[in-house]
Amino acid sequence: MESKRITIVEDDEITALNLKLSLKKQGYAVVAVYDNAATAKSKMSVDNPDIVIIDISLQESNDGIELAKLVRKKYNLPFIFLTSYSDDEIISQAKLTEPYGYILKPFDPNSLHATLQMALFKYDMENQRKEDIHSLKVDKLNLEKLLYSKRTSDKPIVPFGNDYHLDISICETFYKGKKIKLTKKENAFLRLLVAQLGLVVTFEQAMNYVWDEHGATENSVRTLVWRLRNKLETDIIKNASGIGYYIEE
């Protein structure tokens, strides 16, 4: 297996050296060591690391946090913070950059290795998930085709759950023959669930389809599901923890 490439940004010379030696001993390839954020920024694209280790408080400033923002936004690379600080304000600022882990000084080589492995795994899974979502993205035309294929007769009726059905000709949902009054977004999300019965509709799919990618968050989806559940007669919308929702086929 090819060694993972690591860039270290640490202004304490001894700590940087110990990190480099420990990482090499564990089979990583240390491609660069920098003692300041400015140099690291200018060299990041050339070094092309798989992951970056960043001291939160480079040269007693918040340069590490600013560097982390760039690493995520411009280079889309995973990074972990190295810190000896427990100050709540600094940690709060660091959290906003969404690091893939923290290493406390003085570091333990085994903990360092474990943190790196978990960070790399999480990053790979996130990218795989994005690729899966992109390949499974449901646009309005494909959704209509999916719904049409789920009819049980020549009528534009798609049954789901127990005693529910969706009339795809008028975009209305019924329970035991009685129409359920839904908002536009609630109706769109329910149609998405019905079109993919038995499959999980991810948060990303819901945001892309229901909100057309404009300002929605996972909490927007959770709130929508909460409202929708209150309008449905039975609890047919199931949780896929941390991923999304589904209706059993």
Query: Where residue 224 sits, what CATH number does that domain have?
Result: 1.10.10.10
Domain count, the chain: 2
pLDDT > 90: percent of the chain? 52
| Same structural domain, 186 and 123 | no
Q: What pLDDT score was predicted for residue 199?
A: 87
User: In 3D, which of 43, 39, 46, 121 has the Cα closest to residue 80?
Assistant: 121
Q: What pLDDT score was predicted for residue 213?
A: 58
Poorest-pLDDT segment among 28-37, 88-97, 135-144, 200-209 = 135-144
User: In 3D, which of 137, 59, 51, 144 has the Cα closest to residue 101?
Assistant: 51
pTM: 0.55
> How far lies 171's CA from each of 135, 137, 167, 187, 209, in Å?
26, 21, 6, 8, 16
- The b/e string for 111-136 (b: 16+ C-beta within 10 A; e otherwise) is ebbebbeebbeebeeeeeeeeeeeee
Q: What is the mean pLDDT of residues 104-125?
A: 91
pLDDT > 70: percent of the chain? 91
Q: What pLDDT score was predicted for residue 27?
A: 94
Residue type, 65: I
| Same structural domain, 128 and 147 | no
Q: What is the mean pLDDT of residues 31-53?
A: 93
Contact 174, 167 (CB under 8 A): yes
Structure tokens at 90: 């600094």
Q: Is the pLDDT of residue 218 over 60?
A: yes
| Same structural domain, 209 and 239 | yes
Domain closes at, from 73, 100, 133: 133
Cα separation of 56 and 202, whole Å?
Answer: 33
DSSP state of 61: T
Q: What pLDDT score was predicted for residue 57?
A: 81
Structure tokens at 130: 């994005």
| Four-residue CA torsion sign, 168, 169, 170, 175 | negative
Contact 86, 107 (CB under 8 A): no
Q: What pLDDT score was predicted for residue 45?
A: 87
| Same structural domain, 35 and 129 | yes
Cα separation of 225 and 188, whole Å?
Answer: 11
Chain-centroid distance of CA 174 in Å reads 34
The position carrying tokens 């893939």 is 100
Residue 97's pLDDT band (cuts 50, 70, 90)? confident
Q: Is the pLDDT of residue 110 over 80?
A: yes
| Same structural domain, 125 and 144 | no
Q: What is the mean pLDDT of residues 68-97?
A: 83
User: In 3D, which of 128, 120, 197 has the Cα closest to residue 159?
Assistant: 197
Residue-number span of the structural domain to which 170 is assigned: 140-247
Domain closes at, from 112, 133, 154: 133
| Same structural domain, 114 and 148 | no
